[in-house]
Chain A
Amino acid sequence: MVKEIERAGLPVVHMCTIVPISKTVGANRIVPTVAIPHPLGNPNLSYEDEKALRRKLVEKALKALQTPIEEQTVFE
């Protein structure tokens, strides 16, 4: 899906936990996330801290969308 969206002309950032799979499927902008069942959260944190963590990750994704790249790039 990531690849087809990119192919259609839209910049897309893939937020996922297993980066090697994301690379294999051909995502170009990759933001690694927390864990498979909760990529954008961490149930061990308080509600506020969890939301702050999620916001940080989404901001990273937005930054990735604003970054010119030539090849597959992981935004750590």
Chain B
Amino acid sequence: MIKVVHYLNQFFGQIGGEDKAHIEPFVKEGFVGPGMALNAAFKGQAQIVATIICGDSYYAENEEKAKNTILEMIKKYEPDLFIAGPAFNAGRYGSACGSICKHVKENLSIPVLTGMYIENPGVDLYKRDIYIISTKDSAVGMRDAIPKMASLALKLINEEEIESPEKEGYIERGIRINYFASERGSKRAVDMLIKKIKGEEFDTEFKMPDFDRVAPNPPIVDIENAKIALVTSGGIVPKGNPDKIESSSASKFGKYDIEGVYDLTNETYETAHGGYDPVYANKDADRVLPVDVLRELEKEGKIGSLHRYYYSTVGNGTAVANAKKFGQKIAEELIKDGVQAVILTST
């Protein structure tokens, strides 16, 4: 029997939500949560012998320690295959799934597999190293993801030929494989060109990597006279969340006047973010948005001034297209208001 070890976060591991995101990794025998469907999808060809559960924040904040502890836990079961997730669009979870899969692959030389939504930050971090099944952005896509994961997992174990990303449902890894095409290159190129001229869809055979990088701007030379603005994806809002910024998949950002505000307190500010334990930020929002110390620095003349408005959204499964739009709009306003530099905090 093929032995599989499965990795889950605290949520899918049925331990709890953000209040349990700090838990250290531990093992449960057999399958847990989504492991049940995965195990069934193996149709008796493989079996989940153990499940490792770890809190998302714990893994993200202690990556080196976490991955080595988990590796030792996995070793004991001598598995033939390691599966993590699927993580859908959960950023910390996806990064953890990618990280642990890569670590297991490198140290135990067994096939590994995970699943994520294409915009999960774990995809760009790990797609070159491991197979990541492309999933929907939330657990609604579980039913879709599980059979694809099980099927690719069995192929990997049986060392069958892995077909193209489209056929197998995994995220493109940037690996080129030689094969015999039925038509010669010149014909394929002309066919493609004709399609392009006609405005039809065509698939390039040589994709350019997508490096969207922005070069760093020159530094601030005169910070004692500079106007600095605060922006956060940590969801800090005036108490009551007046703009009703969503706790996940935010569709908007807020702009808040902090003139005369020297300290964020539990009576005046809170977080709208649904992707981390809000206890600490609700008690003292300066822990995410450092208004108090910037006011001090302003008073001491270490900075020119703190911009009158801060901008806030919730970075929790937020679509990249939305985040981009928010960033553009915020930057436009900041420049118009004469801001010279930005401190952006993220949770």
Contacts and interface: CB of A to CB of B under 8 A. Distances in A.
A15 B212 CA distance: 21
Interface string A1-14: 11111111111111
B234 interface: yes
Given A13-B342, A39-B347, A70-B216, A54 B290 contact: yes
B328 interface: yes
A54 B285 CA distance: 12
A38 B57 CA distance: 11
Interface in B288-347: 288-290, 292-294, 296-297, 302-303, 313, 315, 323-324, 326-328, 330-332, 334-335, 339-347
Interface in B193-229: 212-221, 223, 228
Contact of B91 (A12, A21, A28): A21
28 contacts: A1-B233, A3-B212, A3-B324, A4-B330, A8-B334, A9-B331, A11-B216, A11-B342, A12-B343, A13-B342, A15-B344, A18-B95, A21-B125, A26-B212, A28-B214, A36-B60, A37-B276, A37-B280, A38-B287, A38-B288, A40-B288, A51-B293, A54-B286, A54-B287, A55-B296, A58-B297, A62-B302, A69-B219
Interface string A27-39: 1110001011111
Interface in B139-193: none
B274 interface: no
B30 interface: no
A39 B228 CA distance: 19
Contacts of A11: 216-220, 340-342
Contact of A10 (B287, B289, B324, B331): B331
A62 B303 contact: yes
Query: A27, A62, A72 — which one has the most chain B CB atoms within 10 A of its CB?
Result: A62
B341 A12 contact: yes
Nearest to B311: A1
Contacts of B286: 40-41, 51, 54
Nearest to B121: A21
B214 A7 contact: yes
Interface in A38-58: 38-41, 43, 50-51, 54-55, 57-58
B279 interface: yes
A43 B280 contact: yes
A18 B92 CA distance: 9
A3 B276 contact: no
Contacts, number: 196
Contacts of B91: 21
A61 B287 contact: no
Contacts of B217: 6, 9-12, 28
Given A18-B92, A62-B303, A5 B219 contact: no
B288 A4 contact: no
B66 to A, nearest CB: 13
Contacts of B57: 35-37
Contacts of A25: 121
A8 B326 CA distance: 12
A20 B293 contact: no
Contact of B297 (A39, A40, A62): A62
* 5 nearest A-B pairs in the assembled complex, by CB-CB distance: A4-B327, A41-B287, A8-B331, A1-B327, A28-B216
